[in-house]
């Protein structure tokens, strides 16, 4: 999360967790917001005790290296999902050849079907990793579950 608001967010989450100990903190985000939700989840996990948390991202880019992914999967992997829409280009960036990896677990939405890839293979060969680069596109990044991003809506006015 942005450092300018980090302390207030952690303080408020801590306060709410103390008030409602049986509740679960939900973090979500799309694109860069998905990357921020991933980093914020680890920060909150480390600084708010006790905390139950779920993380769901949409069209998130890769955010860490192999060590980061192993740490994430150990801390939050059971409680996280990365949703990828069809041929969305952003989840393929930055490139894995540069050492970047995805955190687990992917749900690949391909048209009217979805495939859940629940294991420690974040780059599962039966999910979005199977899409050839020639098919990657920005259009699928702007539309998840029939909801079009605001930038796309504004462009059509």
Q: How confident is the model at residue 3 (pLDDT cuts 50, 70, 90)?
A: confident
- Write down the mean pLDDT value for the chain: 88
pLDDT mean over 136-151: 82
HSE-up of 18 (CA within 13 Å, CB side)? 8
pLDDT mean over 7-29: 93
Beta bridge partners of 28: 56
pLDDT mean over 39-45: 93
Q: What is the CATH classification number for the domain harbouring 29?
A: 3.40.50.1820
**Would you state the pLDDT for residue 77?**
84
The predicted model scores a pTM of 0.88
Does the pLDDT at position 43 exceed 60? yes
By annotation, the residues acting in catalysis are: 31, 88, 141
pLDDT mean over 104-109: 91
DSSP state of 109: E
Domain that holds residue 49: 3-155
DSSP string of 61-76?
PP-B-HHHHHHHHHHT
**Would you state the pLDDT for residue 125?**
84
Structure tokens at 123: 């780059």
The single residue listed with the structure tokens 């930055």 is 94
How many C-beta neighbours within 10 Å does residue 101 have? 18
What is the per-residue pLDDT across 113-126, written as a single tens digit (0 to 9) for each? 899 887 656 678 88
**Total structural domains in the chain?**
1
**Would you state the pLDDT for residue 78?**
86
């Amino acid at each position: 999360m942005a450092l300018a608001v980090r302390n207030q967010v952690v303080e408020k989450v801590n306060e709410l967790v103390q008030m409602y100990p049986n509740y679960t903190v939900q973090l979500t985000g799309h694109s860069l917001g998905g990357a921020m939700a991933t980093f914020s989840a680890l920060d909150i996990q480390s600084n708010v005790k006790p905390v139950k948390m779920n993380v769901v991202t949409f069209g998130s880019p890769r955010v860490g290296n192999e060590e980061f992914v192993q740490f994430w999967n150990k801390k939050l992997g059971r409680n996280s999902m990365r949703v990828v829409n069809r041929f969305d280009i952003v989840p393929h960036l930055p490139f894995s050849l540069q050492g970047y990896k995805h955190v687990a677990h992917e749900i690949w939405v391909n048209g009217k079907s979805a495939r859940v890839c629940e294991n420690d293979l974040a780059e599962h060969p039966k999910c979005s990793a199977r899409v050839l680069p020639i098919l990657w596109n920005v259009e699928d990044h702007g539309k998840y579950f029939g909801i079009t991003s605001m930038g796309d809506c504004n462009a059509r006015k």
